[in-house]
Amino acid sequence: MKITLLSIIATMLIFVGLNAEAQTPTVKMPIDPETKLITYKEVVTVPGTPAELYNRAIEWINKQYKNPADATKVRDQASGIIEIVHRIELKKTEQGAELVAGRVDYSMKLELKDGRFRYTITNFNMKDISRQPFERYLNKQDKAYIPAWDDYLKQVDDFTRNLIESLKQGMQAPAEKKPDTW
């Protein structure tokens, strides 16, 4: 009798622990305190004039996006501002097949100054019947919440962090070419 009661209590504690673990967010998304939107923002120091940084940014955009002219909404070299609007394709697996779960639009702003640039990636919106702010997916108390939302958050976070890393590499000064002496 004591063993059975202890087994039941131990099992209940395990399920309570698993349930509590499931309630904690799996991905920590950066939230802007003013706008309350998911926002990735950083100032990065790199050598170069605004014109050089602009050219590197355009070169990176041309490599990063299949249709760079469509992705860039603003290309203003004089002010050192480039604005991009693009999308992330979310995936889900059903019955062993990988399917498109949805698309999340985002905007990216690059601001270029002497020796540094700032990126701001924000305005994440899930394209559904209507556009929904992606911040909704952070709320596990939402009536429509499903566990797949955690995976969607992770996919967006992973994509954005990889995009940022690619941008930082693309904005580095090119290696000086050594003259071909023979």
pLDDT, tens only, 139-171: 999 998 999 999 999 999 999 999 999 999 999
In this structure, the chain runs to a length of 182
Global confidence as pTM: 0.80
The radius of gyration of the chain's CA atoms, rounded to the nearest angstrom, is 22
Question: Which two three-digit tokens encode residue 19?
Answer: 């349930």
Report which residue type is found at 106: Y
71 close to 85: Cβ distance less than 8 angstroms:
yes
Q: What are phi and psi of 147, to 5 degrees?
A: -60, -25
Contacts of 5 (CB under 8 A, 6+ apart): none
DSSP assignment of 58-89 equals HHHHHHH-SSHHHHEEEEETTTTEEEEEEEEE
* CATH assignment, 26-170: 3.30.530.80
Q: By percentage, how much of the chain surpasses pLDDT 90?
A: 69
Q: What is the pLDDT of residues 5-18, one digit of tens each?
A: 444 444 444 444 44
Q: Which of 28-32, 49-53, 126-130 has the lowest mean pLDDT?
A: 126-130
Going from N- to C-terminal start, the domains of the chain cover: 26-170
Q: What is the pLDDT of residues 53-64, one digit of tens each?
A: 999 999 999 999
